[in-house]
Amino acid sequence: MTEFLFFSGKGGVGKTSMACTTAVRHADEGKRTLIVTTDPASNLSDVFEQSIGHQITAITGIPNLWAMEIDGDRATEEYKDRALAPLRLAFPPQMVKVIEEQMSGPCTAEVAAFDRFTDFLDAPVQDGQAFDDLIFDTAPTGHTLRLIELPAEWSRSISEAEQGSGQTCIGPAAAIQDAKLKYERAVALMRDSAKTRFIFVLQPEATSIKETERASGELQKLGISTHELIVNGILPQSEAVNPLYAPRIDMQARYLAQIERELPLPTRFMPLLDGEIKGNDRLRAVGKLLFDGESALPALEDVSSIAAPQRPTDPAAVLARLTPNGAMRTVFFAGKGGVGKTAASCFTAVWLAQQGYKTLLLTTDPAAHLGDVLGVPVTDRVISVEGVSNLWATKIDPKAAADTYKARILDDARQRGRSPEAIRVMEEELNSPCTEEMAAFDRFINYASQDDWQVVVFDTAPTGHTLRLLELPMDWSAQIDVKVFASVDSSAADDVAKRRFAEVIDMMRDPRQSTFAFVMYPEATPILEAHRASQELATLGIQTGLVYANYVLPREQCTTPFSRVRRAMQDKYLAEIAERFAVPLVEIPLLPYEVKGLDVLSALGERLYGEQTEAVQA
């Protein structure tokens, strides 16, 4: 019987490393093991140091281990081909073309990736044999919860369509009956504790614990249990003599006690290593720490001879990309999950507001942590941040946005005199799960189009989901033919929508109005992910304007062998960042404490950008 293991957790906590370590251990034990990633910005290839891609691929040097990275674009084409194949045999080409156009929207891309994911829950085989273990390395928690909610939502949506118009936004209900049965099987399997285990990876810090508790509770509502924890990134006690690490070790001790109290589950503990986890030998060595409790750290390659990069940052060049230049400035903070985008966006927004600029800080990340970092409640309504003049904050809540979006579309249709039957069909379409994404996108466009602010700072979702959001305006011409705008009024609504989206596209492409800043820490995986995303944005006409290297160890505080080795490794990667990105680089130091609270944010902003100046005129 195949066992299914899901690795989940907040971005940047080490899900991929722990999932890959587990996969290697199981394969070495003789189990036929497949590891699949559902993260749009996959890092399996980076960890295993070989090309993988959108097919089941044998991992070189590890018998019994295969891997696959689900590619959203290819999954979409495969899904459409499967759904349309029987229709091409039964209907005229003109009708098939209409249905194909109906399947051009972003909801098809979402359900296609999900559909490919559920294929693996039907126990795939390789070389005629089933797998013993199937390990899912998931996207950061908010998107993983969305993925896991989809089986029930799509099954419901298809059933409702059968009773109504027979149409869904991913194709005719009759053509996707097999999908409905598959989704129902997926729900049953994920709820079966005898076959499926959910493992949360977290670090001993406030946001990671909070995210784990929230996500575990959401899974419980779906009838899915959390079975195990892996607490990663624990500083070795030997570093208590280091002035930088000593207070962080005390902080971690408090959070480890909190985890024990509030998350009483079987738990493995993983120390912070002096280097990265990648390559088969390193994965096997880390497995001895994780599974056998060995205390000795695996040896790391000697990087002590690598010189630090010599490229001083020009503060004026940085500020020129953050402050308004005769028009509203929009700053997007992007990057891999867990690299510190929220902290960077928060201290930047606080600093800009303190310069006198009317600043809106918002997040499109479903696992929003703005409120945790700011130390004030942040909701889906724009609120003034108490304690900082000129600063407002909000988060885009997909469910709340969907309710508002549906109500607006249906009210508009009623005012235009649409028939009750047409309203019913539209409402049926709007009840589809993909409406949440469309609504969140619509809310994003609304904020990006406003002129109430001098600066808008976006704390975005992890890279793959951010790229998807930013590509939506480019793809809107295809969607507009089949989404609700066309249902309401094809001429007037098309014109309004296209004009709004054209303005936003122009804004994102104009470096005088928009700055895309990639945040990363100086290690291989986040740098590679940021560079790939930067290149993809360039194909859309959007250029990267700034890069931030986070968690940089202050050289003067690297007083132990462990910290010196880690700083030498960082020097190597700081040089690589400087080489890959020909834009100003801002180094954010690792602090002895968490980056949270307005006082800490204000001090860090002044340290990086300069002291407060006289207020500008609003």
What is residue 556's DSSP assignment?
A: G
Determine which one of 9, 14, 287, 338 is catalytic. Answer: 14
- The three-state secondary structure class of 13 is coil
Let me know if 17 is a catalytic residue: yes
547 forms bridges with which residues in the sheet? 518, 585
Determine the Cα–Cα distance for residues 226 and 193; give it in Å rounded to an integer: 9
What is residue 586's DSSP assignment?
A: E
Residue 515, CA distances (Å) to 231, 331, 332, 457, 482 in order: 35, 5, 6, 10, 32
Determine which one of 22, 345, 463, 525 is catalytic. Answer: 525
Among the residues of 450-581, which ranges form H helices? 463-479, 484-488, 490-509, 524-539, 561-580
Determine the Cα–Cα distance for residues 336 and 341; give it in Å rounded to an integer: 8
Q: Give the other-Cβ count within 10 Å of 108's Cβ.
A: 23
Determine the Cα–Cα distance for residues 443 and 72; give it in Å rounded to an integer: 24
Let me know if 525 is a catalytic residue: yes
Reading the block at residue 98, the tokens are 């209409």
Let me know if 14 is a catalytic residue: yes
Determine which one of 39, 115, 442, 571 is catalytic. Answer: 39
Determine which one of 17, 33, 42, 157 is catalytic. Answer: 17
Determine which one of 9, 11, 12, 338 is catalytic. Answer: 12
314's CB contacts (< 8 A; 6+ apart) are 584
581's CB contacts (< 8 A; 6+ apart) are 518, 530, 531, 534, 544, 547
Determine which one of 8, 11, 15, 348 is catalytic. Answer: 15
Let me know if 16 is a catalytic residue: yes
Please provide the DSSP assignment of 17-44 as one string.
Answer: HHHHHHHHHHHHTT--EEEEE--SS--H
Let me know if 164 is a catalytic residue: no
For residue 226, give the amino acid letter.
Answer: T
Residue 242, CA distances (Å) to 248, 295, 435, 590, 596 in order: 10, 20, 51, 13, 22
Determine which one of 2, 9, 10, 16 is catalytic. Answer: 16
Reading the block at residue 528, the tokens are 């590679």
Contact of 406 with 330, CB cutoff 8 Å:
no
Residues serving a catalytic function are 12, 14-17, 39, 525
